[in-house]
Structure formats: C-alpha cells, structure tokens
C-alpha cells in the first residue's frame, strides 16, 4: 500500500498573504482559514470528486503555518510549475510577477529552460517549459 502525498506545508510569517498568492498563482481555492493555518486545494476538488476518486489518487494541497524565523538559505525542496503548451509561458511568468513573485538567481546557467522565481516570502519555485502532459 502506498502513502498519499497529502499536503505541502509552507512555513511563513503572513499565512494569509502566502495562501492567497499561491491560490491565485495556481488557480486553487482557499478552503480553510484559522489564525494558525490556511489551506488551499485545487479548484476542481469538490465533494463529488473526493467521493469518486480513489483516496491515493487525490493530489496534495498546500498548508500555510506561521513561524517566527525568517527564511535564510536556498530551499532544499521546491515546487516546479509548468504551463500547458496552449499557454504563453512568458505571460504566465509576468502574471506571477504581478502577484508578487520575483526572479531569483540560485546559480542556474543562463541557457536553462526554466525560470526561477520566489514567492512573496522568498521561497523559490520554477516555471518550466510548456508541457502537454
């Protein structure tokens, strides 16, 4: 039996701002808000989908929790996002930047096929080349 990847937990200072950034970035929805936790899940996930999809096939959500410390080093784990081949990759990067993402250099070569960005609290993520699967 396999374990289910349930959530990605993001430590942050402003859990509301981070949850809203990521929800908007990925077109997900905020499903839980408390002082100590905000949760987002894919927009297509609803009760009917949850009942009709095998438990282990439902993808992870994201949970944002408050921590007192500030991010100090490059992430050891990061999220890769990919636009569909029908999307304009550069427009998606510009949209993410308009939401508060910034371009960052983590030592990548100039000829790579991905762009490294950071969310409003400095957590790195990549936007890959367009994909159809």
- pLDDT per residue over 79-110, tens digit each? 999 999 999 999 999 999 999 999 999 999 99
Q: Are residues 1 and 24 in the same domain?
A: yes
Cα 43 from chain centroid?
A: 13
Q: Which two tokens stand for residue 128?
A: 């890959």
Domain that holds residue 115: 71-133
The one-character DSSP state at 106 is S
pTM for the whole structure: 0.91
Shared domain check, 76 and 66: no
**Token pair in block for residue 58:** 């439902």
3 in the same domain as 64: yes
Residue 1 pLDDT exceeds 80: no
**Count of structural domains within the chain:** 2
Tens of pLDDT, residues 21-48 = 999 999 999 999 999 999 999 998 888 8
> What CATH number should be reported for the domain holding residue 3?
3.30.720.120
Cα separation, 39 vs 26, in Å, equals: 13
Count each helix (H run) and each strand (E run) in the chain, helices first.
3, 8
Q: Are residues 52 and 86 located together in one domain of the fold?
A: no
Cβ within 8 Å of residue 21, ≥6 positions away: 99, 100, 101, 119, 120
User: What are the tokens at 130?
Assistant: 């367009």
């Amino acid at each position: 039996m396999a374990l289910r990847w349930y959530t990605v937990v993001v430590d942050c200072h402003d859990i509301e701002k981070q949850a809203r950034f990521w929800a908007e970035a990925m077109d997900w929805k905020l499903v839980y808000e408390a002082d100590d936790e905000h949760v987002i899940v894919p927009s297509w996930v609803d009760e009917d989908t949850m009942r009709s999809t095998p438990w282990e096939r439902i993808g992870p959500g994201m949970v944002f929790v408050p921590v007192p410390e500030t991010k100090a080093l490059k992430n050891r784990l990061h999220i890769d996002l990919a636009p569909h081949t029908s999307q304009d990759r550069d427009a998606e990067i510009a949209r993410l930047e308009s939401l508060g993402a910034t371009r960052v250099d983590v030592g990548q070569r100039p000829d790579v096929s991905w762009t490294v960005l950071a969310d409003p609290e400095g957590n790195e993520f990549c936007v890959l080349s367009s994909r159809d699967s």
